[in-house]
Amino acid sequence: MAGERQSSFRFSGRYRMTGFDKTWLDLREAADHAARDHGLQKQVIDHLAAAHGQTLVVDLGAGTGSTFRAFLPEALHWRWRLVDNDPLLLIEAKRRHAGSARIECMEAHLDAPADSLFFEARLVTASALFDLVSESFLARLVSELAQTNIGLYAALNYDGVCRWDEHHPLDDEVVAAFNVHQRRDKGFGPALGPDATPVLRRLLEEQGFQVALAPSPWRLDKAHAELQRQFIFGIASAAAETGLVEEADVNDWRLARLQQAESSDCLVGHWDLFAFR
């Protein structure tokens, strides 16, 4: 049974994600919730409903509790352990859900979490996280989940696709550079970036998990204009850092894309994954 022994899991590397402040998380939440595959979420809900006794969900990189909110109202029937290295985000999570006795917040650097991190867990969740980590990071996590028989729901892992309905001649070049940057070390070793979902699927299947996948792309239109603008700034900055695109070209692309933020729809590819045994 899940949680029959305390976790000895250790993450390596420093958990140093920066820029994931409350404003950015709030800006993307509506797009995230709309993008999640609802069929896969239903599988997760059914899986947890089949558990005997109390059900504990451990959410890694929880921020202000967006994954919890994505599963409302069913989430109210489960216990939640929200894990993040940012105490300010956890304070905000507590403020937003002050009336819920089923939520506990744990501040933890994922390179050295407490031994009790996964204790009693039925499911581990993570959203928009695993494309930032290395294969060795995932291998250790999957090994721990296999030993403790805990399921995994990993949502919104970026797959390398960014596409606008109004084409720009530099789109492919800038996005390719951005994807190179996505594979740089984000604090957990060389990041998997767009390869995260197939690598995670392979690791899970090697440990005997059944794995279900579903696409969960962002579909951004003029209602998401500010999110598009912030995303464009992020892509341009990352692409420029690689040196693979001339700075002047990146600047031209960014300016053009910003001007079209309220008129050009954008698709950003992600995948959701649910694994269980």
**pLDDT category of residue 10 using cuts at 50, 70 and 90:** very low
Across 47-60, average pLDDT: 90
Asked if pLDDT for residue 235 goes beyond 80, the answer is: yes
Across 52-80, average pLDDT: 94
- CA torsion 178→181→186→189, rounded to 10°? 140
Asked if pLDDT for residue 103 goes beyond 70, the answer is: yes
Across 25-52, average pLDDT: 95
In which residue are the tokens 């499911």 written? 123
Mean pLDDT, the chain, integer: 90
Q: For position 40, what pLDDT does the model report? A: 98
Burial class (CB in 10 A: 0-12, 13-18, 19+), 87: exposed
In the chain the domains, ranked by start, together with CATH numbers, are 22-162+187-220+268-276 (3.40.50.150)
Asked if pLDDT for residue 11 goes beyond 50, the answer is: no
CA–CA gap between residue 155 and residue 127 (Å, rounded) = 5
First CA to last CA across the chain, in angstroms?
11
Q: For position 113, what pLDDT does the model report? A: 55
Q: For position 37, what pLDDT does the model report? A: 98
Q: What is the pLDDT of residues 241-271, one digit of tens each?
A: 999 999 999 999 999 999 999 999 999 999 9
Asked if pLDDT for residue 162 goes beyond 50, the answer is: yes
What single-letter DSSP state applies at residue 238? Answer: H
Asked if pLDDT for residue 8 goes beyond 70, the answer is: no
Residue 220 sits at φ, ψ, to 5 deg, of -100, 130
Strand 56-60 relative to strand 151-164, pairing = unpaired
Q: Are 137 and 191 in contact (CB under 8 A)?
A: no
Alpha-helical runs (H) found in the chain: 22-35, 38-49, 66-70, 87-96, 135-148, 171-182, 196-206, 225-242, 247-259
Across 142-151, average pLDDT: 93
What residues form DSSP beta bridges with 103? Answer: 80
In which residue are the tokens 């595959």 written? 37
Q: What is the pLDDT of residues 109-121, one digit of tens each?
A: 776 556 678 999 9
Q: Which residue has the higher pLDDT, 255 or 12?
A: 255
